Amino acid sequence: MRRRNNSTVTEFILVGFTAIPQLQFVLFILFLTIYIFTITTNVIIIGTVRAERHLHKPMYFFISNFSFLEIWYTTTFIPKMMAGLVTGNKTISVHGCIIQFYFIFAFGATVNFLLAVMSYDRYLAICHPLHYTTIMTSKVSGYLALFAWTAGLFAPLMPAVWISTLYFCGPQNIDHFFCDFAPLLNLSCTDTSLVEVTFFTFAWSIILCCFFFTMVSYIHIISTVLRIQFPFGRQKTFSTCSSHLAVVSIYYGTVIFIYVRPTARTTFHLDKVVSIFYSMVTPLFNPIVYSLRNQEVKKAVQKFCISIKDLVK
């Protein structure tokens, strides 16, 4: 039974990783390194795509837009988590928590839509190369990105408003490193079954639709690539696509594990560890996989970094 008393909770405690107190500093350094590395590589990619005229193509526009998104996404929770690790003060106001919930899921949904858009872009380029330039104009790619962002920002609006009407009366501990849906809901003293069903239906439809769309695009891409006659061309296209596919698989594997389920669970230890993958590891590797494996981008990045160095001198 959930405890019900008259005290309204105004603050939560984001427990995070407190199993071993001595580990707090090590974790702080680890997350700081991940955060700095994620921000730096993504900023370099945005700067490079902007500076290089020959990268002004839809594919690179999407990659830089994706980098832009990853910066926002990781910023919604890593700085707060690091502050908690270094000061030991892990409190977050209930409003702050709901705002964090909203932005994590808004940017998270945008990641899904943008991955689907990017796979569609590759599908057109590889499976319909003759029509690609007429279909995927810069205007169309702009609209597709705008769609991904708008749909993503709208998606968690209703659940967030709904959660803000719930009554929280203790306990205060959120057993996670950000305000995730299930651990947050677990603390409410109001009956939450309707919110749960609504949220999970929303989450399911977005995640599974984007997942199937992305997978179908890659299946078409791979079957087209396998029909390429020249071994060199095949290998080159295949290595790019297989690395995209690896990132997409890690991302969806973990996201589906956490969010595609009928109701909220009550223990979150495993969820916390699995969440690290989609929330920190994929934003860290995305820029590397999507761009630095690409020779054209690699050269442009080197040029860009040298020009920045000269500028600083």
Ligand X SMILES: *[C@@H]1O[C@H](CO)[C@@H](O)[C@H](O)[C@H]1NC(C)=O
Q: In the complex, what is the shortest distance from the CB of residue 230 to ligand X, in angstroms, rounded to a whole number? A: 34
Give the C-alpha separation, 14 to 138, whole Å: 43
**Token pair recorded at residue 64:** 């830089």
Give the C-alpha separation, 19 to 225, whole Å: 48
Residue range at the interface with ligand X (CB under 6 A); choices 99-107, 118-126, 144-152, 187-195: 144-152
Q: Is 290 in the site for ligand X (CB under 6 A)?
A: no
Q: In the complex, what is the shortest distance from the CB of residue 87 to ligand X, in angstroms, rounded to a whole number? A: 7
Amino acid (one-letter) located at 201: T
Q: Is 46 in the site for ligand X (CB under 6 A)?
A: yes
The mark string for 68-107 relative to ligand X (x by CB under 6 A, - otherwise) is x--------------------x-x----------------
Q: Which of 120, 116, 111 is nearest to 152 (CA)?
A: 111
Give the C-alpha separation, 25 to 42, whole Å: 26
**Token pair recorded at residue 116:** 């689907």
Q: Is 144 in the site for ligand X (CB under 6 A)?
A: no
Give the C-alpha separation, 312 to 304, whole Å: 12
Q: Is 197 in the site for ligand X (CB under 6 A)?
A: no
Spatial CB neighbours of 159, under 8 Å, sequence gap ≥ 6: 105, 181, 195, 198, 199, 202
Residue range at the interface with ligand X (CB under 6 A); choices 101-109, 145-153, 197-205, 262-270: 145-153
Q: Which residue of 146, 161, 246, 273 would you call a contact of ligand X, by CB under 6 A?
A: 146
Residue range at the interface with ligand X (CB under 6 A); choices 29-37, 139-147, 194-202, 208-216: 139-147
Q: Which residues bind ligand X (CB under 6 A)?
A: 46, 64-65, 68, 89, 91, 142, 145-146, 149
